[in-house]
Structure 1
Amino acid sequence: MTKLIKHYGAFVLAGGGAFVINSILLLLLVNIMRLDPYLSQAFAVVCGIVYSWFINRKYTFAVTEKPSFQEFIKYCGTMIVSTLVNYSIYSLSITFFAVFYMYPVLALIPATAISMIVSYLGMRFHTFR
């Protein structure tokens, strides 16, 4: 049971940390730099992905081998699918709900929750089998 708690705890830490990084960058880019919320999210989500790669690889899935190009390609595939899900939900949210357009960080909540599920399943059954 403890192993399972550590496993999912690390995944939540990776996703939560990625969410925080994503949110802070999005806030800075949209509210301080006055950049477009769509383009800002595209940049911010990539930064969150890089962070989550390190945490998930080392702690969630405890990969001990050196990273390989094949593994990296699998990871990228998983992250592309997860990112497309994230960005689609984010974009639809800020397009159809005024509150999400006014406060785009709020649109990250449903986008991140659903994309975390997609990314976990992809990592568990594809990237880090």
Structure 2
Amino acid sequence: MAKLLRFGIVGSVGFLVDAGILALLLGFTPLGPFISRAIAIALAMMATWYLNRRFTFGASRHSIVREGFRYGSVGLTSALVNYLVYSALLILFPTLQPLAALVVSSTAAMAFSFFGYSRFVFRR
């Protein structure tokens, strides 16, 4: 349970990094929302990788390059799970509020990513 709590804290920090970088890029560069978002996601993923490696799970037995690739793979797949669950909920239940779908899809993605990171990336 302690790992899940630490994972949630790291995820919150990742969200703040993501939102902060996005806001800075949108406010101070001509990059636009799509390129800015890609950069923000990449930097947030690097931040959560570092924090999860140090604070939540510890380093894996793999090289840092292999661990980073695995982390990115789980992170991208988790984002896809989040979006697909969100979309499916809104299509299947048209009266469902988008924020409710966001909560459910984010919870599903968090469970998926915790399992993926703990079993596939940081397994010892």
Both structures adopt the same fold (TM-score exceeding 0.5): yes
- Structure 1 position 15 matched with structure 2 position 11: yes
Q: How many Å apart are 1:85 and its aligned residue?
A: 4.5
Partner AA of 2:116 in structure 1? G
Q: Where does residue 113 of structure 1 map in the other structure?
A: 106
8 Å contact from structure 1 (residues 78, 119) kept in 2: yes
Residue by residue over 1:41-81, the C-alpha shift from the partner in whole angstroms, topping out at 9 and shown as x without a partner, is 11101000001001111221123757444433322321231
Distance 1:124 1:36, change over 3 A: same
RMSD: 3.0
How many Å separate the matches in 2 of 1:62 and 1:69? 15
Q: Cα 1:12–1:31, aligned 2, differ >3 Å: closer, same or farther?
A: same
| Distance 1:20-1:121 versus aligned 2 partners, 3 A rule | same
1:71 pairs with 2:67: yes
State the 1:22 CA deviation.
0.5
- Where 1:22 maps in the other structure, the secondary structure is helix
Cα distance in 2 for partners of 1:61, 1:24 equals 25
Residue 117 of structure 2 is aligned with which of 101, 119, 123? 123
| CA–CA distance in structure 2, aligned partners of residues 64 and 127 of structure 1 | 7
State the 1:25 CA deviation. 1.0
- CA–CA distance in 1 between the matches of 2:42 and 2:80? 11
Aligned residue pair count: 106
Q: After superposition, give the CA deviation of every residue in 1:100-128 in whole Å (9 maximum; x if it has no partner).
A: xxxxxxx9xx3993543332121123222
- Cα gap change, 1:40 to 1:10, in 2 (>3 Å): same
Q: Could you give the per-residue CA deviations for residues 13-47 of structure 1, whole angstroms, max 9, x where no partner exists?
A: 21111100100111122234354222211110100
Alignment correspondent of 2:92: none
> Which portions of structure 1, spanning 4 or more consecutive aligned residues, are displaced by more than 6 angstroms?
none
Change (3 A) 1:118 1:41: farther
Q: Take 1:73 and 1:65, find their aligned partners in 2: how far apart are those partners?
A: 14
Find the partner of 2:43 among 47, 52, 73. Answer: 47
